[in-house]
Amino acid sequence: MKKIDRLILKSFIGPLLLTFSIAVFVLLMQFVWKYIDDMVGKGLSVGTIAELLFYASATFVPMALPIAVLFASIMTMGNFGEKYELIAMKAGGISLWRAMLPMVMVTLILTAIAFYFSNNVLPAATLRYRITLYDVTRKKPALNIRPSEYYSDIEGYVIRINEKDPETGLLSDIIIYDHTKHPAQTNLIVADSGMMQTSPDGQYLIFTLYSGHTYTEECSGEERYTRPFTAMDFREQIMTFDLSSFAFDKSSEDSFKANCQMMNVAQLDSTTRFLRESMNERYADFMVSTISKLTLYNRYKQLEPMRDKLTEFSSYKPVQMGDTISSETRRQILMRAKSIASQINGDFRVYTQVVKSDKEFLNRHYVVWNRKYTFAVACLVLFFIGAPFGSIVRKGGLGMPLVASVVFFVLYYVIDMIDEKAVRGSVMSPTGMWVATFVFIPIGVLLTIHATSDASIFDSTTWNKFADRMRSRFKLVKRKK
């Protein structure tokens, strides 16, 4: 490897890793702010939170890697142009293509890694991320009964304590509302003092109440009309509450594996093939059922009373039979025909909704299948936009590259989201997922041509000269008038 290649690679890989880390961090912070209420106050361990953040970070790689390649390519070539290193390379006989070759090789390697990641690593990471996030959001907040507040996180109970001694743990003025027996029935338990502790395995909360009363009003069964009221006094009473719903239990992977985002290319191919076969079978069954009902409908319609006026069809037996049947039978036949027609119409509406749902479900698989390839190709396409753009602008640092990379990536992302929505709604075929790529390829080709021909369309001097020329022409035209 030549020294010039080492210099280019060192200038390219540094901003690439830095931008990738920053992009993942920013996306991760957005995720944290979105689910901060579901993670705080639930007594989650540091390992569980770290596991959730790790798998969430892995799902952000498809968005962070292309923008990192775009920013690093603009920054690298912009620095070379701003410091006149690119001019020195050209003066030494090194063309722009030769200067970009080390970065092209790195981008090709990143493209292959991106496809492998999206096809093998991303499905597994998304699966673990969805399971962990589901378990975290489902877990109830940690048990924390505070004084002078009504605590209702234990299912079927509402608990209120007036004071709590921080040294001895003694509770005073305890009120417990028990709704476990019947929604409309409330058992009220009032105690002067008590103690609260959890079982050694953490599965149960044990309340030991002292000097209290229990009030019960029957609202169910045979006694719901008389509503008898019962009051009992006690010196000591022990109540046990089940805390199993507060435990952090990991869900099974089987209930999440059927999602298309947890599949690789081979699994998506087999799944889409099965879905298409199921749709074809459903269509065949619908047609057989509809044809049989239409045949039965035509038989009843042939016996309609109005057919006796059509003399040209008098040779047909169904019309002759219609002439001989009674009016009541004819009315029943007509009502039966209308009923069959209504069934056919209802079946068609149901089938239309089923087909629409099946197509949308199938299109989701097509979107995920195509995105595995577009994600990898996006790194290469955005590189051939960023590198020529940086060599033309000749501005390094963080200002111009950051603004330009954000503009290009936002444009690419918006087009990609529009394509995805159109494909899911069956407005476009699954190949519509490549529209953003097809839009940016000509832009990259145009920028590359301008960069290799030393065009200065983005140079401020060029635009200043153009503005001066236009002002001169405007003044000349004004003077002539």
Q: Which two tokens stand for residue 413?
A: 């992302």
| Per-residue pLDDT at 325 | 55
Q: Which of 69, 74, 35, 72 is nearest to 52 (CA)?
A: 35
* CA distance linking residue 281 with residue 265, whole number of Å: 24
Residue type, 130: R
Place of tokens 């219609």: 322
Angle, CA of 5, 10 and 16, to the nearest 5°: 120
Element (H, E) at 172: strand 171-178
* Burial (Cβ within 10 Å: 0-12, 13-18, ≥19) of residue 304: middle
pLDDT at 250: 63
pLDDT in tens, the chain (481 residues): 578 878 888 888 888 999 899 989 999 998 888 888 777 766 677 888 888 899 999 999 988 999 999 988 888 888 887 787 777 887 777 777 888 888 889 999 999 999 999 998 988 888 888 888 877 776 665 566 778 888 877 777 888 888 888 777 788 888 888 877 765 667 888 988 888 877 776 677 788 888 888 888 766 555 555 566 778 888 888 888 877 666 655 666 666 777 788 888 888 888 888 888 888 887 777 777 777 666 655 655 554 544 444 333 334 344 444 445 566 666 776 777 677 777 777 777 777 777 787 888 888 888 889 989 998 899 999 998 888 888 887 777 777 777 888 888 889 889 988 988 888 888 888 888 899 899 999 888 888 888 777 655 555 566 677 677 888 877 777 777 6
pLDDT at site 220: 58
pLDDT value at position 429? 85
* Angle of CA points 203, 205, 211, to nearest 5°: 160
Rounded Cα distance, 64 and 66, in Å: 6
Helix (H) or strand (E) holding 452: helix 435-452
* Predicted pLDDT at 115: 92
At 314 the pLDDT is: 37
Q: How far from 444 is each of 68, 75, 99, 188, CA to CA, in Å?
A: 17, 16, 17, 74
**Euclidean distance between CA atoms 15 and 23, whole angstroms:** 12
Q: What is the dihedral of CA 126, 128, 134, 136, to 10 degrees?
A: -130
Q: Residue 43 carries which DSSP code?
A: -
| Strand ranges across the sheet with 229-242 | 150-151, 157-164, 171-178, 187-198, 204-217, 229-242
